[in-house]
């Protein structure tokens, strides 16, 4: 069977009982991601960096695809969690990068005034594979040299 797109456990998480993302219903667009470990997202204070919540998952896909990371619809109201980047974009060449093997993380801010506990296995967000287009005369030729936040470095 040809591998088109999917998920694998990233290096360093092989023995941590990580569940691959799944769609919960027949017509769900998103694959539900779980936290790979317990963590705390602190209450928001100006200047605080977002908390990167590890999933232990990496994604492979076709050349003209990306994986978009979205928040759970219940997270802002129930837990006060919002994505720092609104939508995370996982590019094809993030997979297997030398820094972190393509391990996907969700960057959260907590807009409540109390810390939020996330437990290993909690559903934290969803990923949707999407096609993208390139502009006429596109000449992108750079190659990824690192992991999270490494574009243009």
More confident residue, 151 or 126: 126
Q: Quick one: pLDDT band at residue 144, thresholds 50, 70, 90?
A: low
Do 53 and 39 meet the contact criterion of CB atoms below 8 Å apart? yes
pTM of the model: 0.91
Q: Which domains does the chain have, with CATH numbers?
A: 6-131 (2.70.40.10)
The alpha carbons of the chain give a radius of gyration, in whole angstroms, of 16
Is residue 9 pLDDT above 90, yes or no?
yes
For 117, the 3-state DSSP assignment is strand
115-140 pLDDT, tens digit each:
999 999 999 999 999 999 999 999 88
Work out the percent of the chain whose per-residue pLDDT is above 90.
89
Is residue 62 pLDDT above 80, yes or no?
yes
């Amino acid at each position: 069977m040809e591998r088109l797109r999917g998920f694998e456990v990233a290096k360093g998480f092989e023995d941590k009982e990580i569940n691959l993302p799944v769609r919960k219903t027949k017509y769900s667009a998103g694959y539900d991601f779980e936290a790979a470990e317990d963590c705390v997202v602190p209450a928001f204070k100006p200047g605080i960096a977002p908390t990167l919540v590890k999933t232990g998952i990496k994604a492979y896909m076709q050349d003209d695809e990306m994986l978009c990371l979205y928040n759970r619809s219940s997270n802002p109201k129930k837990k006060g969690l919002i994505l720092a980047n609104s939508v995370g974009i996982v590019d094809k060449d993030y997979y297997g990068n030398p820094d972190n093997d393509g391990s996907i993380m969700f960057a959260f801010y907590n807009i409540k005034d109390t810390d939020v506990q996330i437990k290993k296995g909690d559903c934290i967000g969803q990923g949707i594979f999407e096609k993208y287009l390139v502009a006429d005369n596109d000449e992108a030729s750079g190659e990824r040299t690192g992991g999270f936040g490494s574009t243009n470095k």
